Structure 1
Amino acid sequence: MQYYSTNNPSVKSDLKRAVINGLAADKGLFMPELIPVLPDDFWKALPDMSLGEIGFQTLKHFFCPEIPEDEFRQLTTEAFNFPIPLVPVTDRIGSLELFHGPTLAFKDIGARFLARVMARFTKDTGAAVNVLVATSGDTGSAVANGFLGVEGVNVFVLYPKGLVSDVQEKQFTTLGQNITAIEVDGTFDDCQRLVKTAFMDDELKKSMQLTSANSINLARFLPQMVYYFSAYAQALKQGRKEVKLCVPSGNFGNLTAGLIAYKMGLPIKRFVAATNCNDIVPKYLNTGNYQPAPSIATPANAMDVGDPSNFVRIQELFHHKLSDIKAVVEGVKVDNDTIYSTIRSVFKTSGYVLDPHGAIGYHAIKDKLDTNAYGIFLATAHPAKFPETVEEVIQQKVEQPERLKAFLDGQKQVESASADYGDLVKILLGHAGRK
């Protein structure tokens, strides 16, 4: 399959170049030329499939035969090797817990898959590949841990100083080896701007091969469709036939993956795009005016994105027709006070502990739940990653998983930079020869 640029459909690439380069030559995002509709026998077998098999059956259309099918089945088995349970919170709302992977966040799914695909595509190149990623929280830890120790790949994680939780920061600043954490004196938008500038810097690219592990990389966001199929399969097993799904949204790669699953035939009634105060997309859905804005810091920091890169992919899926997007997606903004009150009320009534991002998802699906539908929200991170917020709200300690405790005992190692691009270049070139 070929992949085209969102800036110009005539700019195309094969899979390997699209994954390694991250962005198209004209700086657009890659999209698959074709989104196949899954056959009837897939839907019949779906309720009894393992997560790895769901990954193989859905993703093979995009990654095979470039990766041989027998090898690809092994890849998906290894990448998707932890549970993603659908847990009841009320009689009509379930939590799809995406936080049972190595770093306790949903981005483990995409990052583990991407790391394996990237390692396969770069193992024979001879030159180091440098992964450059901006994070507002969970992306950095998932990518860093996914690529930790991968031969021939260096990872640079840019994050805004003081704007990620202590737990999140520890998960990618304590690793060493081929991981370099860069603490930027600025916002997530500054970090994202620096990454984009680097990708457009032809002089820098003469000195080092750059690629992305953010959701702008198609091998990072496409595997996220797997848990949408899994959610539907689990809902069917629980006797739910009509499903409405809520996606806490920041850079919108997560929702893009869900909508590609929808285009492949996933019978979800509606998607709710839930944001925090950075409500660029809900405003667009209400007014038709898409206006990026500086990001605002919130308790749901992984969603603090004022210019979501992936929304153009959603527009592509629906041929840039607002009415067609609105027929499938509705937007909800959840303010900070509501995040806190939702965590408190859900814990009080059900004993279920939400993190700030899950609280946004729960509130939005509860607000938008139709009479006959079963609501599922994506629980994108373990509440133990946000103890400063969650424990204060519920007035109780959140139990820390053992793998999280191991990160907290590590020693922080960072490079510091201003929001000036020149600082980033110096750091990158200083590590350019590392293999």
Structure 2
Amino acid sequence: MQLYSTKNPSTRVSFKEAVFNSMPQDKGLYMPVVIPRLDDKFLNHLDEYTLPEIAFNVAKALIGEDIPDNDLKAIIKDAINFLAPVVKLEENVFVLELWHGPSLAFKDFGARFMSRVMSYFLEKGEKQLDVLVATSGDTGGAVALGFLGVPNTRVTILYPKDKVSDVQELQLTTNGHNIRAVEIDGTFDDCQALVKQAFTDAELNEKFRLTSANSINIARLIPQTFYYFNAYAQLLKQGIDKVIFSVPSGNFGNIGAGLLAWKMGLPVEHFIAATNLNDTVPEFLETGVYQPKPSVATLSNAMDVGDPSNWVRIADLFKDDINDLKNLVTGYSYNDEQTLEAIKFINDDYNYVACPHTAIAWQALRDWQQDNYKADTAGVFLSTAHPCKFPDVFPESIAAKVDVPEQVEDLFKKEKKSTVLGKDFEGFKQYLLENK
């Protein structure tokens, strides 16, 4: 697999190099030189394959010979060992539940696959791998569990102080061993900026072997395509072959993976980018002007991103042809009041409890279908996190319905350990240098 930088298309690096470097020094993002189109026979018979089989075929098409077949199958078997069911709520309305992994969030797909790929590529005697990750809520927990105990690796998780839920914070700060947590007195965008700056700092790169576990890493993006193909496979079993996806969107890696799957031949009719008040992309799709803005804190905290990193990948997929992009992607944004109304509606109508991110995706699907309903097309909204991670969001009557998994109850018995830093880079750099 050969990859290039979105800022320099003549760049060529291997998959292994892209995985360990995460981000090119020119501050672009890595993209495949060739995005293969999967065979029609495979696509038309997806319903005959299991999730691990689908994952292997998709990953193999992208990664090529960089990981031998048997090794790739073993990585997938170990990483993707949970289901992602499509649940029907009403005619042509389905929810894709992506929170059945160990951290109870869709990030488990990317984090677990990436950690195992990195472990596979690490050679004995090599310098310790220092993984830096910024999180707005769910990424950190998935990465922590994905890398916990992986030899010769250390993970540093940056998260915005007082802007993640209690459960999310405990998932970040109670692991110990090779996982450490840093509270940044700022926003997710500040955390993300610190990670990006670290990758281009000469002194840090000399002293550490740095890589990222954020969705800027191509090894996070590839496995997120798996659940789009698998969702389509589940619909095919029900005689449905036309689908639109409504995707709760923050850093735009989730919908970016869906668009990559579409480029590989998955027959998706339309994508909906559903955001909270951090509406940089919906505004761009409406006006044609891309204007990043400071992030705003909302109930759907994992989507509180004002300058989404993965947007450059999406722009690159369409070579900045805004018309083609707008024909395939529609953006919607909602405030907290609308989010709470959606949570209540989903509970009342379906007897289903949705986390705030999921509720936004449902609302966007509902609004889109009101104007574009087609009887033969299934609408699937992505449920990205278990509702137990957001207990303070729900009214008491709905919160009482939430089943709290045992692993979450165990978190409250553990001690939180973290370091609080400001959002200045020099302070973060000093922390890294003093804690080698």
TM range (shorter): over 0.9
Paired-residue identity, %: 50
Pick from 381, 390, 398: which aligns with 1:377?
A: 381
| 1:404 CA displacement | 1.7
2:152 partner letter? G
Query: Which aligned segments of 4 or more residues in structure 1 are displaced greater than 4 angstroms?
Result: none
- Separation of aligned partners in 2, 1:138 and 1:101: 12
Task: State the partner residue of 2:298.
Answer: 298
Q: Distance in 2 between matches of 1:35 and 1:86?
A: 27
CA distance in 2, matches of 1:23, 1:123: 21
Unaligned runs of 5+ in 1: none
Deviates more, 1:343-352 or 1:378-387: 343-352
C-alpha displacement of 1:416: 1.3
Instruction: Give per-residue Cα distances to partners, 1:197-249, cap 9 Å, x unaligned.
Output: 11111111111111000000000111100000011111111222221110100
Distance 1:391 1:430, change over 3 A: farther
Contact 1:391 1:397 in 2 (8 A): no
**Structure 2 unaligned spans of 5+:** none
| Alignment match, 1:356 | 356
Residue range with higher mean Cα deviation, 80-89 or 418-427: 418-427
**Farther off after superposition, 129-138 or 405-414:** 405-414
1:76 aligned residue: 76
3-state SS of paired residue (2:423) = coil
**Which residue in the other structure is 2:157 paired with?**
157
Report deviation, 1:28: 1.1
Moved more, 116-125 or 391-400: 391-400
Other-structure match for 1:189: 189
Amino acid at match of 2:113: F
Does structure 2 retain, via aligned residues, the 8 Å contact 1:334–1:360? Answer: yes
Number of aligned positions between the proteins: 432
Question: Bigger CA drift: 182-191 or 384-393?
Answer: 384-393
Deviation at 1:334, TM superposition (A): 1.5
- What do the CA deviations read for 1:8-56 (whole angstroms, capped 9, x no partner)? 1012211111100001131210000001111122124410211111110
| Distance in structure 2 (CA, Å) of the matches to 1:326 and 1:121 | 39
Question: Is the CA contact (8 Å cut-off) linking 1:248 and 1:273 kept in structure 2?
Answer: yes
Which residue of structure 1 lines up, in the alignment, with residue 56 of structure 2? 56
Amino acid of the residue matched to residue 30 of structure 1? Y
Q: CA deviation at 1:392?
A: 4.0
8 Å CA contact 2:252, 2:311 repeated in 1 = yes
Which residue of structure 2 aligns with residue 409 of structure 1?
Answer: 413
- Paired position in structure 2 for 1:269: 269
The more displaced of 200-209 and 285-294 is: 200-209
Amino acid at match of 2:424: D
Is this contact kept in 2: 1:145–1:172, CA < 8 A? no
Shift of 1:176: 0.2
1:217-236 map, 5 Å: 217-236=217-236
Shift of 1:124: 3.0
* Alpha-carbon offset, residue 397 of structure 1: 4.6
**TM-score between the two structures when normalised by the length of structure 2:** 0.97
Q: What CA distance in whole angstroms lies between the structure 1 residues aligned with 2:34 and 2:395?
A: 46
Q: Work out whether 1:398 is the aligned partner of 2:402.
A: yes
CA distance in 2 between counterparts of 1:109 and 1:167 reads 19
TM-score of the superposed pair, with normalisation by structure 1 = 0.97
Q: Deviations over 1:101-124 (max 9, x none)?
A: 000000000000000001111233
Counterpart amino acid of residue 425 in structure 1: K
Aligned-partner residue type, residue 410 of structure 1: K
Moved more, 304-313 or 395-404: 395-404
Deviation at 1:426, TM superposition (A): 2.2
C-alpha separation between the residues in 1 aligned to 2:336 and 2:96?
A: 22
Residues 294 and 412 of structure 1: CA distance in aligned 2, closer, same or farther (over 3 Å):
same
Deviates more, 1:102-111 or 1:325-334: 325-334
Amino acid at match of 2:281: V
- Give the whole-Å Cα distance in 1 for the aligned partners of 2:131 and 2:399: 40
* Counterpart contact for 1:249–1:273, Cα < 8 Å: yes
Q: Which moved more, 1:118-127 or 1:326-335?
A: 118-127
Q: Counterparts in 2 of 1:198-347, with a 5 A limit?
A: 198-347=198-347
Matches within 5 A, 1:34-113: 34-113=34-113
SS in structure 2 at match of 1:341: helix
Residues 243-268 of structure 1 deviation map (CA, whole Å, 9 limit, x = unaligned): 11101000001111100100111111
The one-letter amino acid paired with 1:119 is S
Equivalent position SS for 1:11:
strand
Contact 2:391 2:399 in 1 (8 A): no
Instruction: Render the CA deviation track for 1:303-328: whole Å, top value 9, x for unaligned.
Output: 00000000010011111110010111
Question: What's the secondary structure of 2:353's corresponding residue?
Answer: coil
Tell me, yes or no, if the aligned pair for 1:344 and 1:393 is still in contact at 8 Å. Answer: no
AA of the residue aligned to 1:353 = V
Shift of 1:125: 5.1
Moved more, 367-376 or 246-255: 367-376
Counterpart position of 2:390: 386
Kindly provide the amino acid, as one letter, of the partner of residue 115 in structure 2: A
* SS of corresponding position for 1:274: strand
Mapped contact 1:171–1:408 kept (Cα < 8 A) = no
> In the aligned structure 2, how far is the partner of 1:268 from the partner of 1:365?
14
Task: Report the CA distance between 1:371 and its aligned residue.
Answer: 2.4
1:26 maps to which residue?
A: 26
The change in CA–CA distance for 1:270 and 1:44 in structure 2 (over 3 A counts) is closer
Report the counterpart of residue 424 of structure 2 in structure 1.
420
Deviates more, 1:187-196 or 1:38-47: 38-47
Give 1:214's aligned amino acid. N
Deviations 1:153-199 (A, max 9, x none): 10000001000000000011000000010011111111111111111
Q: Give the aligned residue type for 1:400.
A: V
Q: Aligned partner of 1:271: which letter?
A: F
C-alpha root-mean-square deviation of aligned residues, in Å?
1.2
